[in-house]
Structure 1
Protein backbone atom coordinates (compact mmCIF):
# COMPACT_ATOMS: atom_id res chain seq x y z
CA UNK A 1 0.00 0.00 0.00
CA UNK A 2 2.84 2.36 0.85
CA UNK A 3 4.46 1.46 -2.47
CA UNK A 4 1.31 2.55 -4.29
CA UNK A 5 1.32 5.82 -2.43
CA UNK A 6 4.97 6.37 -3.24
CA UNK A 7 4.37 5.73 -6.92
CA UNK A 8 1.21 7.86 -7.06
CA UNK A 9 2.73 11.02 -5.61
CA UNK A 10 5.11 11.87 -8.49
CA UNK A 11 2.46 11.29 -11.14
CA UNK A 12 0.88 14.77 -11.10
CA UNK A 13 4.31 16.42 -11.46
CA UNK A 14 5.31 14.02 -14.22
CA UNK A 15 2.02 14.64 -16.00
CA UNK A 16 2.53 18.41 -15.81
CA UNK A 17 6.08 18.14 -17.09
CA UNK A 18 4.94 15.90 -19.93
CA UNK A 19 2.22 18.35 -20.89
CA UNK A 20 4.68 21.25 -20.70
CA UNK A 21 7.09 19.38 -22.96
CA UNK A 22 4.34 18.62 -25.47
CA UNK A 23 3.20 22.23 -25.61
CA UNK A 24 6.74 23.53 -26.00
CA UNK A 25 7.28 21.08 -28.84
CA UNK A 26 4.07 22.25 -30.49
CA UNK A 27 5.20 25.86 -30.20
CA UNK A 28 8.61 25.05 -31.67
CA UNK A 29 6.97 23.05 -34.45
CA UNK A 30 4.73 26.01 -35.27
CA UNK A 31 7.75 28.31 -35.50
CA UNK A 32 9.55 25.77 -37.69
CA UNK A 33 6.58 25.43 -40.05
CA UNK A 34 6.22 29.20 -40.40
CA UNK A 35 9.97 29.52 -40.92
CA UNK A 36 9.97 26.90 -43.68
CA UNK A 37 7.11 28.70 -45.41
CA UNK A 38 8.84 32.08 -45.14
CA UNK A 39 12.40 31.07 -45.97
CA UNK A 40 11.96 31.15 -49.79
CA UNK A 41 10.98 34.81 -49.33
CA UNK A 42 13.84 35.69 -46.97
CA UNK A 43 15.36 38.28 -49.30
CA UNK A 44 11.95 39.84 -49.94
CA UNK A 45 11.31 40.06 -46.20
CA UNK A 46 14.63 41.81 -45.68
CA UNK A 47 13.87 44.16 -48.57
CA UNK A 48 10.58 45.05 -46.90
CA UNK A 49 12.17 45.68 -43.50
CA UNK A 50 14.99 47.75 -44.99
CA UNK A 51 12.71 49.81 -47.24
CA UNK A 52 12.39 52.75 -44.77
CA UNK A 53 16.15 53.31 -45.01
CA UNK A 54 16.76 52.35 -48.62
CA UNK A 55 14.25 54.81 -49.98
CA UNK A 56 16.08 57.64 -48.19
CA UNK A 57 19.57 56.75 -49.38
CA UNK A 58 21.17 59.22 -51.80
CA UNK A 59 21.27 58.29 -55.45
CA UNK A 60 24.00 55.77 -56.10
CA UNK A 61 24.21 54.65 -52.45
CA UNK A 62 23.17 51.20 -51.29
CA UNK A 63 23.33 48.87 -48.33
CA UNK A 64 26.40 46.65 -48.09
CA UNK A 65 27.50 43.36 -46.51
CA UNK A 66 30.84 43.62 -44.71
CA UNK A 67 31.04 39.95 -43.75
CA UNK A 68 31.33 36.96 -46.08
CA UNK A 69 28.27 35.12 -44.76
CA UNK A 70 26.09 38.19 -44.16
CA UNK A 71 24.16 37.99 -47.47
CA UNK A 72 22.83 34.60 -46.32
CA UNK A 73 22.84 34.78 -42.51
CA UNK A 74 21.19 38.19 -42.17
CA UNK A 75 18.00 37.34 -44.15
CA UNK A 76 18.05 33.92 -42.45
CA UNK A 77 18.08 35.51 -38.99
CA UNK A 78 15.38 37.98 -39.94
CA UNK A 79 13.17 35.19 -41.30
CA UNK A 80 13.57 33.24 -38.06
CA UNK A 81 12.59 36.29 -36.03
CA UNK A 82 9.63 36.89 -38.37
CA UNK A 83 8.54 33.27 -37.88
CA UNK A 84 8.53 33.70 -34.10
CA UNK A 85 6.74 37.04 -34.52
CA UNK A 86 3.98 35.47 -36.62
CA UNK A 87 3.68 32.41 -34.37
CA UNK A 88 3.32 34.44 -31.17
CA UNK A 89 -0.49 33.96 -30.96
CA UNK A 90 -0.12 30.18 -31.20
CA UNK A 91 2.79 30.16 -28.74
CA UNK A 92 0.73 32.15 -26.24
CA UNK A 93 -2.22 29.84 -26.86
CA UNK A 94 -0.05 26.88 -25.85
CA UNK A 95 1.08 28.72 -22.72
CA UNK A 96 -2.53 29.62 -21.95
CA UNK A 97 -3.68 26.01 -22.45
CA UNK A 98 -1.06 24.88 -19.94
CA UNK A 99 -1.86 27.53 -17.32
CA UNK A 100 -5.65 27.83 -17.72
CA UNK A 101 -6.67 24.60 -15.90
CA UNK A 102 -5.24 25.99 -12.67
CA UNK A 103 -7.18 29.26 -12.88
CA UNK A 104 -10.57 30.20 -11.51
CA UNK A 105 -13.43 30.97 -13.87
CA UNK A 106 -13.43 34.72 -13.11
CA UNK A 107 -9.66 34.78 -13.64
CA UNK A 108 -10.07 33.18 -17.06
CA UNK A 109 -12.70 35.75 -18.04
CA UNK A 110 -10.27 38.49 -17.12
CA UNK A 111 -7.13 36.89 -18.54
CA UNK A 112 -8.41 36.07 -22.04
CA UNK A 113 -9.09 39.72 -23.07
CA UNK A 114 -5.73 40.70 -21.57
CA UNK A 115 -3.96 37.98 -23.53
CA UNK A 116 -5.58 38.99 -26.80
CA UNK A 117 -5.01 42.70 -26.22
CA UNK A 118 -1.36 42.16 -25.22
CA UNK A 119 -0.68 40.39 -28.53
CA UNK A 120 -2.49 43.12 -30.46
CA UNK A 121 -0.58 45.86 -28.62
CA UNK A 122 2.76 44.19 -29.28
CA UNK A 123 1.96 44.02 -33.00
CA UNK A 124 0.73 47.60 -32.89
CA UNK A 125 3.97 48.73 -31.27
CA UNK A 126 6.04 47.03 -33.97
CA UNK A 127 3.84 48.53 -36.70
CA UNK A 128 4.16 51.98 -35.14
CA UNK A 129 7.95 51.60 -35.13
CA UNK A 130 8.03 50.59 -38.80
CA UNK A 131 5.54 53.05 -40.28
CA UNK A 132 5.96 56.08 -38.00
CA UNK A 133 9.34 55.94 -36.28
CA UNK A 134 11.66 54.49 -38.92
CA UNK A 135 10.91 57.06 -41.63
CA UNK A 136 11.47 59.93 -39.19
CA UNK A 137 14.69 58.76 -37.59
CA UNK A 138 16.23 57.53 -40.86
CA UNK A 139 15.34 60.81 -42.54
CA UNK A 140 17.06 62.58 -39.66
CA UNK A 141 20.18 60.41 -39.76
CA UNK A 142 20.59 60.60 -43.52
CA UNK A 143 20.17 64.38 -43.59
CA UNK A 144 22.57 65.45 -40.84
CA UNK A 145 25.71 63.68 -42.02
CA UNK A 146 28.62 65.46 -43.73
CA UNK A 147 28.11 66.08 -47.42
CA UNK A 148 31.27 64.21 -48.45
CA UNK A 149 30.24 61.02 -46.57
CA UNK A 150 28.47 58.32 -48.59
CA UNK A 151 25.86 56.42 -46.57
CA UNK A 152 26.34 52.67 -47.05
CA UNK A 153 24.82 50.83 -44.09
CA UNK A 154 25.84 47.25 -43.32
CA UNK A 155 22.84 44.90 -43.62
CA UNK A 156 23.65 43.05 -40.38
CA UNK A 157 24.07 46.26 -38.40
CA UNK A 158 20.79 47.56 -39.79
CA UNK A 159 18.98 44.37 -38.79
CA UNK A 160 20.31 44.55 -35.23
CA UNK A 161 19.24 48.19 -35.05
CA UNK A 162 15.66 47.67 -36.25
CA UNK A 163 15.10 44.49 -34.22
CA UNK A 164 16.08 46.43 -31.11
CA UNK A 165 13.52 49.10 -31.96
CA UNK A 166 10.83 46.54 -32.83
CA UNK A 167 11.33 44.89 -29.46
CA UNK A 168 11.46 48.20 -27.58
CA UNK A 169 8.23 49.52 -29.09
CA UNK A 170 6.49 46.16 -28.78
CA UNK A 171 7.30 45.99 -25.07
CA UNK A 172 6.51 49.68 -24.53
CA UNK A 173 3.03 49.21 -25.95
CA UNK A 174 2.35 46.63 -23.21
CA UNK A 175 2.23 49.38 -20.57
CA UNK A 176 -1.61 49.45 -20.35
CA UNK A 177 -1.64 45.69 -19.73
CA UNK A 178 1.00 46.03 -17.01
CA UNK A 179 -0.95 48.83 -15.32
CA UNK A 180 -4.21 46.88 -15.44
CA UNK A 181 -2.57 43.77 -14.01
CA UNK A 182 -1.05 45.76 -11.14
CA UNK A 183 -4.43 47.30 -10.34
CA UNK A 184 -6.31 44.01 -10.69
CA UNK A 185 -3.82 42.21 -8.42
CA UNK A 186 -4.28 44.89 -5.76
CA UNK A 187 -0.62 45.91 -5.86
CA UNK A 188 -1.57 49.49 -6.63
CA UNK A 189 -4.59 51.64 -7.46
CA UNK A 190 -5.37 54.08 -10.28
CA UNK A 191 -5.09 56.91 -7.79
CA UNK A 192 -1.61 55.81 -6.71
CA UNK A 193 -0.48 55.54 -10.32
CA UNK A 194 -1.91 58.98 -11.08
CA UNK A 195 0.02 60.48 -8.17
CA UNK A 196 3.22 58.93 -9.53
CA UNK A 197 2.67 60.42 -12.99
CA UNK A 198 5.71 62.77 -12.87
CA UNK A 199 8.01 59.84 -12.05
CA UNK A 200 6.39 57.72 -14.77
CA UNK A 201 7.00 60.44 -17.36
CA UNK A 202 10.65 60.74 -16.36
CA UNK A 203 10.93 56.94 -16.47
CA UNK A 204 9.44 56.88 -19.98
CA UNK A 205 12.10 59.25 -21.26
CA UNK A 206 14.86 57.32 -19.49
CA UNK A 207 13.56 54.11 -21.05
CA UNK A 208 13.45 55.83 -24.44
CA UNK A 209 17.00 57.09 -23.95
CA UNK A 210 18.30 53.60 -23.16
CA UNK A 211 16.53 51.72 -25.94
CA UNK A 212 16.70 54.14 -28.86
CA UNK A 213 19.50 55.90 -30.74
CA UNK A 214 21.05 58.92 -29.00
CA UNK A 215 18.84 61.57 -30.56
CA UNK A 216 15.88 63.49 -29.20
CA UNK A 217 13.52 62.51 -32.03
CA UNK A 218 13.65 58.74 -31.57
CA UNK A 219 13.67 59.05 -27.78
CA UNK A 220 10.55 61.23 -27.85
CA UNK A 221 8.84 58.94 -30.35
CA UNK A 222 9.13 56.14 -27.81
CA UNK A 223 8.64 58.10 -24.58
CA UNK A 224 5.51 60.04 -25.58
CA UNK A 225 3.51 56.96 -26.72
CA UNK A 226 4.58 55.23 -23.50
CA UNK A 227 3.16 58.12 -21.50
CA UNK A 228 -0.10 58.03 -23.46
CA UNK A 229 -0.35 54.27 -23.01
CA UNK A 230 0.24 54.69 -19.28
CA UNK A 231 -2.70 57.08 -19.14
CA UNK A 232 -4.82 54.51 -20.99
CA UNK A 233 -3.81 51.87 -18.46
CA UNK A 234 -4.86 54.12 -15.58
CA UNK A 235 -8.16 54.87 -17.35
CA UNK A 236 -9.05 51.23 -17.92
CA UNK A 237 -7.81 50.42 -14.44
CA UNK A 238 -10.48 52.71 -13.04
CA UNK A 239 -13.08 50.71 -14.97
CA UNK A 240 -12.08 47.35 -13.55
CA UNK A 241 -11.53 48.50 -9.99
CA UNK A 242 -15.25 48.65 -9.03
CA UNK A 243 -15.71 45.07 -10.27
CA UNK A 244 -12.95 43.87 -7.98
CA UNK A 245 -14.42 45.82 -5.06
CA UNK A 246 -17.82 44.35 -5.74
CA UNK A 247 -16.49 40.82 -5.98
CA UNK A 248 -14.59 41.28 -2.72
CA UNK A 249 -17.77 42.21 -0.87
Structure 2
Protein backbone atom coordinates (compact mmCIF):
# COMPACT_ATOMS: atom_id res chain seq x y z
CA UNK A 1 0.00 0.00 0.00
CA UNK A 2 2.83 2.39 0.82
CA UNK A 3 4.26 1.74 -2.66
CA UNK A 4 0.97 2.75 -4.25
CA UNK A 5 0.55 5.86 -2.13
CA UNK A 6 4.13 7.01 -2.67
CA UNK A 7 3.43 7.34 -6.41
CA UNK A 8 1.07 10.26 -7.13
CA UNK A 9 0.07 9.09 -10.61
CA UNK A 10 -0.83 5.59 -9.43
CA UNK A 11 -2.73 7.02 -6.45
CA UNK A 12 -4.88 9.13 -8.77
CA UNK A 13 -5.41 6.26 -11.22
CA UNK A 14 -6.69 4.01 -8.44
CA UNK A 15 -8.80 6.85 -7.03
CA UNK A 16 -10.51 7.42 -10.40
CA UNK A 17 -10.97 3.70 -10.99
CA UNK A 18 -12.75 3.44 -7.63
CA UNK A 19 -14.78 6.54 -8.45
CA UNK A 20 -15.82 5.10 -11.83
CA UNK A 21 -16.89 1.84 -10.18
CA UNK A 22 -19.15 3.87 -7.89
CA UNK A 23 -20.41 5.92 -10.87
CA UNK A 24 -21.26 2.59 -12.51
CA UNK A 25 -23.16 1.62 -9.38
CA UNK A 26 -25.23 4.78 -9.66
CA UNK A 27 -25.88 4.04 -13.35
CA UNK A 28 -27.01 0.50 -12.55
CA UNK A 29 -29.36 1.59 -9.77
CA UNK A 30 -30.76 4.84 -11.16
CA UNK A 31 -34.29 4.57 -12.42
CA UNK A 32 -33.51 5.71 -15.95
CA UNK A 33 -30.09 4.13 -16.32
CA UNK A 34 -27.61 6.33 -18.20
CA UNK A 35 -30.19 9.01 -18.98
CA UNK A 36 -29.92 12.80 -18.82
CA UNK A 37 -30.26 12.83 -15.03
CA UNK A 38 -27.35 10.41 -14.76
CA UNK A 39 -25.12 12.47 -17.07
CA UNK A 40 -26.11 15.61 -15.16
CA UNK A 41 -24.90 13.91 -11.99
CA UNK A 42 -21.62 12.95 -13.69
CA UNK A 43 -21.16 16.54 -14.90
CA UNK A 44 -21.81 17.86 -11.39
CA UNK A 45 -19.22 15.45 -9.94
CA UNK A 46 -16.57 16.53 -12.46
CA UNK A 47 -17.49 20.21 -12.09
CA UNK A 48 -17.04 19.87 -8.33
CA UNK A 49 -13.76 17.94 -8.60
CA UNK A 50 -12.15 20.42 -10.98
CA UNK A 51 -13.59 23.34 -8.99
CA UNK A 52 -11.99 22.08 -5.78
CA UNK A 53 -8.66 21.74 -7.59
CA UNK A 54 -8.93 25.24 -9.10
CA UNK A 55 -10.10 27.11 -6.02
CA UNK A 56 -7.84 25.06 -3.75
CA UNK A 57 -4.82 26.21 -5.73
CA UNK A 58 -6.15 29.78 -5.85
CA UNK A 59 -6.36 29.71 -2.07
CA UNK A 60 -2.90 28.13 -1.78
CA UNK A 61 -1.42 30.99 -3.82
CA UNK A 62 -3.25 33.69 -1.83
CA UNK A 63 -3.36 32.20 1.66
CA UNK A 64 0.21 30.87 1.58
CA UNK A 65 2.58 31.52 -1.33
CA UNK A 66 2.00 35.22 -2.07
CA UNK A 67 1.96 36.10 1.63
CA UNK A 68 5.06 34.09 2.58
CA UNK A 69 7.32 34.75 -0.44
CA UNK A 70 8.68 38.05 0.97
CA UNK A 71 9.88 36.15 4.05
CA UNK A 72 11.80 33.51 2.08
CA UNK A 73 15.57 34.17 1.85
CA UNK A 74 16.62 35.22 -1.65
CA UNK A 75 18.75 32.11 -2.19
CA UNK A 76 15.75 29.85 -1.52
CA UNK A 77 13.20 31.67 -3.71
CA UNK A 78 14.25 29.88 -6.94
CA UNK A 79 12.98 26.62 -5.41
CA UNK A 80 9.49 28.12 -5.46
CA UNK A 81 9.69 30.15 -8.67
CA UNK A 82 11.41 27.47 -10.79
CA UNK A 83 9.84 24.27 -9.46
CA UNK A 84 6.72 24.72 -7.33
CA UNK A 85 4.99 27.70 -8.95
CA UNK A 86 5.13 26.49 -12.60
CA UNK A 87 3.72 23.10 -11.63
CA UNK A 88 1.00 24.66 -9.47
CA UNK A 89 0.12 27.10 -12.25
CA UNK A 90 -0.22 24.24 -14.75
CA UNK A 91 -2.86 22.50 -12.63
CA UNK A 92 -4.39 25.87 -11.67
CA UNK A 93 -5.09 27.08 -15.20
CA UNK A 94 -6.28 23.75 -16.60
CA UNK A 95 -8.48 23.13 -13.55
CA UNK A 96 -10.01 26.56 -14.21
CA UNK A 97 -10.68 25.58 -17.82
CA UNK A 98 -12.15 22.19 -16.89
CA UNK A 99 -14.30 23.71 -14.14
CA UNK A 100 -15.76 26.30 -16.51
CA UNK A 101 -16.38 23.78 -19.31
CA UNK A 102 -18.05 21.29 -16.96
CA UNK A 103 -20.13 24.12 -15.45
CA UNK A 104 -21.38 25.08 -18.92
CA UNK A 105 -22.19 21.43 -19.69
CA UNK A 106 -23.99 21.08 -16.36
CA UNK A 107 -26.07 24.23 -16.94
CA UNK A 108 -26.91 23.02 -20.46
CA UNK A 109 -28.00 19.58 -19.24
CA UNK A 110 -30.16 21.24 -16.57
CA UNK A 111 -31.75 23.43 -19.23
CA UNK A 112 -30.86 26.88 -17.93
CA UNK A 113 -27.56 27.73 -19.66
CA UNK A 114 -28.70 30.66 -21.80
CA UNK A 115 -31.30 31.96 -19.34
CA UNK A 116 -28.73 31.91 -16.52
CA UNK A 117 -26.14 33.75 -18.61
CA UNK A 118 -28.81 36.40 -19.23
CA UNK A 119 -29.33 36.53 -15.42
CA UNK A 120 -32.93 35.46 -15.99
CA UNK A 121 -33.74 38.16 -18.55
CA UNK A 122 -34.78 35.58 -21.16
CA UNK A 123 -37.58 34.42 -18.85
CA UNK A 124 -38.53 37.89 -17.63
CA UNK A 125 -36.68 37.47 -14.31
CA UNK A 126 -39.47 35.13 -13.20
CA UNK A 127 -37.18 32.63 -11.45
CA UNK A 128 -34.81 33.95 -8.76
CA UNK A 129 -32.87 30.66 -8.84
CA UNK A 130 -31.86 31.33 -12.44
CA UNK A 131 -30.80 34.90 -11.65
CA UNK A 132 -28.73 33.83 -8.65
CA UNK A 133 -27.05 30.86 -10.32
CA UNK A 134 -26.46 33.09 -13.33
CA UNK A 135 -24.69 35.58 -11.08
CA UNK A 136 -22.44 32.76 -9.87
CA UNK A 137 -21.79 31.65 -13.45
CA UNK A 138 -20.76 35.16 -14.42
CA UNK A 139 -18.46 35.49 -11.41
CA UNK A 140 -16.85 32.14 -12.31
CA UNK A 141 -16.55 33.21 -15.96
CA UNK A 142 -14.77 36.42 -14.97
CA UNK A 143 -12.44 34.40 -12.74
CA UNK A 144 -11.76 31.91 -15.55
CA UNK A 145 -11.05 34.78 -17.97
CA UNK A 146 -8.69 36.39 -15.44
CA UNK A 147 -6.69 33.16 -15.16
CA UNK A 148 -6.05 32.80 -18.88
CA UNK A 149 -5.99 36.45 -20.01
CA UNK A 150 -4.10 38.07 -17.13
CA UNK A 151 -2.68 35.76 -14.44
CA UNK A 152 -0.98 33.15 -16.61
CA UNK A 153 0.52 35.58 -19.18
CA UNK A 154 1.86 37.75 -16.34
CA UNK A 155 3.20 34.77 -14.42
CA UNK A 156 5.11 33.58 -17.49
CA UNK A 157 7.04 36.85 -17.42
CA UNK A 158 7.40 36.96 -13.63
CA UNK A 159 8.76 33.41 -13.50
CA UNK A 160 11.13 33.86 -16.45
CA UNK A 161 9.28 31.47 -18.75
CA UNK A 162 8.98 34.43 -21.15
CA UNK A 163 11.90 36.85 -21.40
CA UNK A 164 11.69 40.11 -19.49
CA UNK A 165 14.00 42.43 -17.61
CA UNK A 166 13.85 42.96 -13.84
CA UNK A 167 11.32 45.80 -14.15
CA UNK A 168 9.08 43.79 -16.45
CA UNK A 169 9.21 40.81 -14.08
CA UNK A 170 8.32 42.98 -11.09
CA UNK A 171 5.40 44.62 -12.96
CA UNK A 172 4.17 41.23 -14.19
CA UNK A 173 4.40 39.75 -10.69
CA UNK A 174 2.29 42.59 -9.31
CA UNK A 175 -0.25 42.25 -12.13
CA UNK A 176 -0.57 38.53 -11.52
CA UNK A 177 -1.02 39.14 -7.80
CA UNK A 178 -3.74 41.79 -8.33
CA UNK A 179 -5.78 39.55 -10.62
CA UNK A 180 -5.23 36.53 -8.39
CA UNK A 181 -6.40 38.59 -5.42
CA UNK A 182 -9.40 39.74 -7.50
CA UNK A 183 -10.32 36.11 -8.10
CA UNK A 184 -9.99 35.41 -4.37
CA UNK A 185 -12.36 38.30 -3.67
CA UNK A 186 -14.89 36.98 -6.22
CA UNK A 187 -14.56 33.35 -5.14
CA UNK A 188 -16.45 33.59 -1.85
CA UNK A 189 -19.65 35.18 -3.28
CA UNK A 190 -19.38 32.83 -6.27
CA UNK A 191 -19.32 29.83 -3.92
CA UNK A 192 -22.37 31.20 -2.10
CA UNK A 193 -24.41 31.08 -5.30
CA UNK A 194 -23.12 27.64 -6.28
CA UNK A 195 -23.80 26.00 -2.91
CA UNK A 196 -26.87 27.76 -1.57
CA UNK A 197 -28.85 27.45 -4.82
CA UNK A 198 -28.85 23.67 -4.51
CA UNK A 199 -30.11 23.84 -0.92
CA UNK A 200 -32.66 26.64 -1.21
CA UNK A 201 -34.09 25.82 -4.63
CA UNK A 202 -33.17 22.14 -5.11
Question: What is the TM-score of this pair, normalised by structure 1?
Answer: 0.31
TM-score by length of structure 2 reads 0.36
Structure having greater relative contact order (Cα 8 Å, sep ≥ 6): 1
Query: Which structure has the larger Rg over C-alpha atoms?
Result: 1
